[in-house]
Amino acid sequence: MNLFLFTGIVLLSSVGAGLVGALTGLGGGIVVTPVLTLLLGVDIRYAIGASLVSVIATSSGAAAAYVRDGLSNVRIGIFLEVATTLGAICGALISRKVPTSLLAIIFGVVLLHSAWQASQARVETSVVASQGAFAKRLRLGGTYRTEDGQVDYTVSREGAGLGLMYLAGLISGLLGIGSGALKVIAMDRVMGLPFKVSTATSSFMIGVTAVASAAIYFKRGYILPQMAVPVMIGVLAGSMLGARLLPRLPVKVLRMIFAIVVALIALQMMVKGIQESL
């Protein structure tokens, strides 16, 4: 295969990755990694580097629109980033002392269950009832527009949410993947945010989480321009498209897409864990 063809294939599949990444709040690595490793036979370390680029590109591309449209709750995002970055650092510190293959299997099972849960609808309107005192002080509530008008929402159980975010960061530091899924689930299921706000806020946050590991990948030579540039341009285009689509798509469809992608991540994780422990 020559470089023209390689660039073309990577560019096109990255548009799809950006689209999926922006709609789910997960970042698109789930598409980029298999295309590069299975289809194009790229070394896994280059694929990891490209996947990291894909996460950052999704975050920038999608969040530029989500933040402007008020879909990403910037305050919640920044507030929760405290826990994810702290978790990521702790995860990286203890990663040599933890049996990561066993952890990957356990976390895969947890994610599979979460995928099923996330596919179930939840009543989203007028949950103004139980706003946490701390959330009120931080002014974490917000408003977003739908076709039926404005929806006001508040945040509940922000402490439990922070704990889960720490766990999400820890897992991403330990296993390298899967932190986006926990972020969305924590906001949707625990903190009671509308699903679209959860995915859009996750999109906003994942760039910062990913950038924390960018320096080490760069220094190790994981990031090659021949791969990273078509990934970057494709994912940026796809995620900007996804960010335009999300406000118009029904929550039911978005939940379905999210559940399928999370289930795929869970299976990928379990397979990886089983392979490593054999």
- Interacting residues with another protein between 234 and 273 (CB under 8 A): 236, 240
Q: Does 12 bind another protein (CB under 8 A)?
A: no
Residue 193 bridge partners (DSSP): none
Binding-site residue total for another protein (CB under 8 A)?
64
Side chain identity at 235, as an amino acid letter?
Answer: V
Q: Shortest approach of another protein to residue 75 CB, angstroms?
A: 7
Pick between residue 57 and residue 104 the one whose CB is nearest to another protein. Answer: 57
Q: Do residues 212 and 101 touch, judged by C-beta distance below 8 A?
A: no
Q: Do residues 55 and 37 touch, judged by C-beta distance below 8 A?
A: no
Closest residue by Cα to residue 262 from 114, 49, 95? 114
Pick between residue 59 and residue 198 the one whose CB is nearest to another protein. Answer: 59
The values of phi and psi at residue 146, to 5°, are -125, 180
Pick between residue 46 and residue 107 the one whose CB is nearest to another protein. Answer: 46
Pick between residue 212 and residue 257 the one whose CB is nearest to another protein. Answer: 212
Q: Do residues 235 and 18 touch, judged by C-beta distance below 8 A?
A: yes
Structure token digits, residue 190: 């625990």
The values of phi and psi at residue 124, to 5°, are -110, -20
Taking CB under 8 A as the rule, which mask of x and - marks residues 62-81 in contact with another protein?
Answer: -xxx-xx-x---xx--xx-x
User: Quick one: which segment of 13-21, 105-113, 150-158, 219-227 binds another protein (CB under 8 A)?
Assistant: 219-227
| Sole binder of another protein in the list 12, 16, 34, 40 (CB under 8 A) | 40
Q: Does 4 bind another protein (CB under 8 A)?
A: yes
Q: Shortest approach of another protein to residue 213 CB, angstroms?
A: 7
Q: Shortest approach of another protein to residue 246 CB, angstroms?
A: 16
CA separation for the pair 31, 21 (Å, rounded): 9
CA separation for the pair 44, 38 (Å, rounded): 10
- Interacting residues with another protein between 81 and 100 (CB under 8 A): 81-82, 85-86, 88-89, 92
Residues 6+ apart with CB under 8 A from 25: 180, 183, 184, 198, 199, 200, 201, 202, 203, 206, 258
Closest residue by Cα to residue 83 from 190, 9, 10? 190
Q: Does 216 bind another protein (CB under 8 A)?
A: yes
Q: Which residues bind another protein (CB under 8 A)?
A: 1-7, 40-43, 45-46, 53, 56-57, 59-61, 63-65, 67-68, 70, 74-75, 78-79, 81-82, 85-86, 88-89, 92, 137-139, 207-208, 210-216, 218-221, 223-230, 232-233, 236, 240
